[in-house]
Amino acid sequence: MAELAKNTADISMIPAEEKLVPPWKEAWQSFYKNRLALAGLCIVLFFIIIAIIAPLIAPYGFKEQVLADRMQAPSSKHWFGTDDFGRDIFSRVIYGARISLWVGFFSVLGSVVFGTLLGIVAGYYGRWVDAIISRIFDVMLAFPSILLAIAVVAILGPSLKNALIAIAVINIPNFGRLVRSKVLSVKQEEYIMAARAVGMKDTRILLRHILPNSISPVIVQATLAIATAIIEAAALGFLGLGAQPPTPEWGKMLADSKNYITNAPWTLFFPGMAIMLTVLGFNLMGDGLRDVLDPKMKN
């Protein structure tokens, strides 16, 4: 009894904030300790901010042409130089952040919605439903992603909107298979069996129990997929299948400048650096989120 009383007294002396830490606060503390992940978050926030305030900080319009200033090197007047039409590259890179982030976020959002829906249905119901959905995923994954994206854009027609749709389509199997594998594990838990035993409907089980317990890896994969989507959008733009002139999309800017790599390297350098930094930021942030949300990665 004396031992029990001593342990109880020791517990009562622990400050309240140390007894129970909210999950979000614990996750942020773990994320904050990861300096690389924090650096990735800062890079991502930086590009999001400049995309939002682009009209306020861009010294020129992204379509504004001054032929007398064409192919000028970086200077105090044009920080990133000008292109072959005399357009300010700094202004076009800033506006291009809007395009790339918009494509990245919304293409991945579409992939997450449809991939998660198909993955949950396949993993929960199994049998012939799982077989059909899994074979569709296998067929889509059998093609290189960029070739499948090119095929989709070729069918729909070259445009930024169709490039977004193509990128969303090719990433659906990645999220579908990820969610399916998680659902196959979660649905064997005792609380799921108990929910079935008391007559809970499948829809309620999926939305209230299985989906919340399967979402963590989806968040991590979505963060990393945004980086991939930005690269794929740039690739389609470079091939002339994405954004069309005079839209300041980074990949299209690289394509327009590839003939000037020797006498005007700045026309390629700055759009390329923008792509590299944005992708690096999302990758670092995604790795940090994986370390925080994946129990296997915790010490």
- Measure the CA–CA gap between 193 and 97, rounded to whole angstroms: 48
**pLDDT at 49 (0 to 100):** 94
From the list 239, 217, 1, 247, the residue with the least C-alpha distance to 112 is: 217
Most confident of 52-56, 188-192, 246-250: 52-56
Q: pLDDT of 5-36, one tens digit each?
A: 445 445 445 454 445 556 666 666 776 777 88
- Residue range 177-195: mean pLDDT, rounded: 81
Q: pLDDT of 67-92, one tens digit each?
A: 888 888 998 888 998 988 889 999 99
Phi, psi of 258 (to 5 degrees): -65, -25
The residue with greater pLDDT, 280 or 8, is 280
Tokens 């649905």 sit on residue: 187
**pLDDT at 297 (0 to 100):** 52
- Residue range 38-42: mean pLDDT, rounded: 90
50-66+78-297 domain in CATH 1.10.3720.10?
yes
**pLDDT at 11 (0 to 100):** 45
Q: pLDDT of 194-227, one tens digit each?
A: 777 777 777 777 777 788 877 878 888 898 899 9
**pLDDT at 17 (0 to 100):** 46
Q: Does the pLDDT at position 52 exceed 90?
A: yes
Q: Does the pLDDT at position 2 exceed 60?
A: no
- Residue range 182-189: mean pLDDT, rounded: 80
Confirm if 97 and 51 have CB atoms less than 8 A apart.
yes
Return the minimum-mean-pLDDT range out of 58-67, 69-78, 124-133, 192-201: 192-201
The residue with greater pLDDT, 221 or 4, is 221
- Measure the CA–CA gap between 54 and 248, rounded to whole angstroms: 12
Q: pLDDT of 253-262, one tens digit each?
A: 888 888 888 8
| SS3 labels along the chain | CHHHHHHHHHHHCCCHHHHCCCHHHHHHHHHHHCHHHHHHHHHHHHHHHHHHCHHHHCCCCCCCCCHHHCCCCCCCCCCCCECCCCCEHHHHHHHHHHHHHHHHHHHHHHHHHHHHHHHHHHHHHCHHHHHHHHHHHHHHHCCCHHHHHHHHHHHHCCCHHHHHHHHHHHHHHHHHHHHHHHHHHHCCCHHHHHHHHCCCCHHHHHHHHHCCCCCHHHHHHHHHHHHHHHHHHHHHHHCCCCCCCCCCCHHHHHHHHHHHCCCCCHHHHHHHHHHHHHHHHHHHHHHHHHHHHCHHHCC
The residue with greater pLDDT, 19 or 130, is 130
**What average pLDDT does the chain have?**
84
Torsion angle of alpha carbons 151, 115, 44, 148, nearest 10°?
-10
**pLDDT at 108 (0 to 100):** 93
- Residue range 228-254: mean pLDDT, rounded: 88
